[in-house]
Amino acid sequence: MSANFHPLVYIIDYILGVIMWTLIGRVAMNIFQKEDSQFFFMKVFVKFTNPLIRLFKPLTPTFIIQPLVPLYVAWFFFMIRFYVMPWVLGYSVMGMLSFPLESEISRQIYQFFNSIKF
């Protein structure tokens, strides 16, 4: 059961969600690769997330180790999506898994596994 939001709400949430997950992906990829790695995906994660990390540098505490800084920045995007977006839309709480991006992904996964006949 999904709410009927204006399409702009979905677009904003999808953009914020992709940014958040890209930052989280960079942290996960950094477990296996160095930031200056020549691996294509690591270069893409670094290239797309470095401007955001520079933008949030004034808000980032110096005690956070460098590999975890993207996760800290992703936390801001999560907070915007979980608290600011519902507040702007006039809702007190949207609840877990009410993010449109993640809801759509979970719906597709459910449909995929539900269609498999064992």
- Whole-number Å distance between alpha carbons of 28 and 26: 5
60 pLDDT higher than 90: yes
94 pLDDT higher than 50: yes
Q: Higher-confidence residue: 94 or 71?
A: 71
Q: From 24, 15, 1, select the one nearest 74 (Cα to Cα).
A: 24
Task: Give the predicted TM-score (pTM) of the model.
Answer: 0.76
Cα angle 76, 80, 86 (rounded to 5 degrees) comes to 160
- Whole-number Å distance between alpha carbons of 14 and 99: 9
Maximum C-alpha span of the chain: 53
Q: How confident is the model at residue 81 (pLDDT cuts 50, 70, 90)?
A: confident
Other Cβ atoms less than 10 A from the Cβ of 43: the count is: 14
**Domain spans, the chain:** 7-115
Cβ proximity of 13 and 86 under 8 Å: no
Give me the mean pLDDT over the 47-57 stretch. Answer: 94
Burial of 104 (0-12, 13-18, 19+ CB in 10 A): middle
